[in-house]
């Protein structure tokens, strides 16, 4: 897949990593639908702006009807709060699952026929190292990202025969306002060597996505995933 010839839709493009991904796609020459719940907040010259709330079925359906030329779907939007599973509010726990899991799934179900019609195309799901290492204060988010990882693997299997590439982007620490505020509130250390600038990360991740990689992990995510297979600290 060549991103300079692609038509890409990015969710949550008004800020953070979504803004960086959409901006980098425009720089590469792609046609870009930069979507947001509040489209008036999207400021990306060269992008076409669409209103989209991934947890609202009517909104998802309207976006799929409006963007029938898409061949690259980037599922970035997410509520990244949620608190802890045992002591947190159930409404927040449901909200974090709603955007990360059900919202991403709704987008994939709505756009899979479009991707197939346009030659197969590709999906990039933005996961998190939190899928593999949970953080006290936000265990609900970690559980939702674990579910989204399972979703990504399942969808890859199901869409393989349509020729749709399904890639998991698994960053760990991105210097967006949301992370910086969470780190300050929870006294979470942010080691400089593991903290990514959103624009730099978007560029390197899109290079790997374009090269056809199935999983794009940063160093911290690689360490986290290694512990799952029993190949972490003990070796």
Ligand X SMILES: NC(=O)c1ccc[n+]([C@@H]2O[C@H](COP(=O)([O-])OP(=O)(O)OC[C@H]3O[C@@H](n4cnc5c(N)ncnc54)[C@H](OP(=O)(O)O)[C@@H]3O)[C@@H](O)[C@H]2O)c1
Interacting residues with ligand X (CB under 6 A): 11-12, 14-18, 36-38, 52-55, 76-80, 99, 103, 126, 128, 171-174, 176-179
Give the torsion sign (CA, 108, 72, 157, 141). Answer: negative
Q: φ and ψ at 122, to 5 degrees?
A: -155, 150
Nearer to ligand X, 183 or 226 (CB): 183
Characterize the bridge pairing of strands 72-75 and 215-217: unpaired
Active-site residue, from 101, 102, 141, 225 = 141
Which residue lies nearest ligand X, judged by its C-beta? Answer: 16
Two tokens, residue 124: 């990039």
Environment class of 177 (CB within 10 Å of its CB; exposed 0-12, middle 13-18, buried 19+): exposed
Q: Is 222 a catalytic residue?
A: no
DSSP letter for 49, please: E
Q: Is 141 a catalytic residue?
A: yes
Q: Which is nearer to ligand X, 6 or 9 (CB)?
A: 9
Min dist CB 206 to ligand X, Å, is 14
- In the complex, minimum distance from the CB of residue 161 to ligand X, in angstroms, rounded to a whole number: 27
Yes or no: say if 121 and 115 are a contact pair by the CB < 8 Å rule. yes
CA–CA separation, 227 and 27 (whole Å): 37
Residue 32 bridge partners (DSSP)? 8
Q: Residue 2 or 177: which CB sits closer to ligand X?
A: 177
Among 33, 101, 145, 225, the one annotated catalytic: 145
CB of 85 to ligand X, least distance (A): 17
User: Contact at 8 Å (CB) between 21 and 13?
Assistant: yes
Closest approach of ligand X to the CB of residue 183, in Å: 9
Cβ-based nearer residue to ligand X, 6 or 224: 224
Q: Which residues are catalytic?
A: 141, 145
């Amino acid at each position: 897949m060549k991103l300079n010839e692609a038509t890409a839709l990015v969710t949550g493009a008004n800020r953070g990593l979504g803004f960086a991904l959409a901006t980098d796609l425009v720089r590469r020459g792609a046609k870009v639908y930069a979507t947001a719940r509040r489209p008036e907040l999207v400021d990306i010259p060269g992008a076409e702006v669409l209103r989209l709330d991934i947890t609202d079925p009517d909104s998802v359906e309207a976006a799929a009807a409006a963007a029938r030329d898409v061949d690259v779907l980037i599922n970035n939007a997410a509520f990244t709060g949620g608190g802890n599973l045992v002591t947190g509010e159930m409404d927040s726990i449901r909200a974090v699952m709603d955007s990360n899991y059900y919202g991403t799934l709704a987008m994939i179900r709505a756009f899979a026929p479009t991707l197939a019609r346009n030659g197969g195309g590709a999906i990039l799901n933005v996961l998190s190292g939190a899928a593999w290492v949970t953080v006290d204060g936000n265990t609900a988010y970690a559980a939702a990202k674990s579910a989204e990882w399972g979703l990504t693997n399942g969808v890859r299997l199901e869409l393989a025969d349509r020729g749709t590439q399904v890639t998991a982007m698994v960053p760990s620490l991105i210097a967006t306002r949301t992370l910086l505020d969470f780190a300050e509130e929870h006294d979470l250390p942010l080691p400089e060597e593991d903290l990514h600038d959103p624009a730099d990360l978007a560029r390197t991740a899109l290079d790997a996505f374009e090269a056809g990689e199935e999983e794009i992990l940063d160093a911290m995510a690689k360490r986290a995933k290694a512990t799952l297979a029993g190949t972490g600290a003990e070796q």
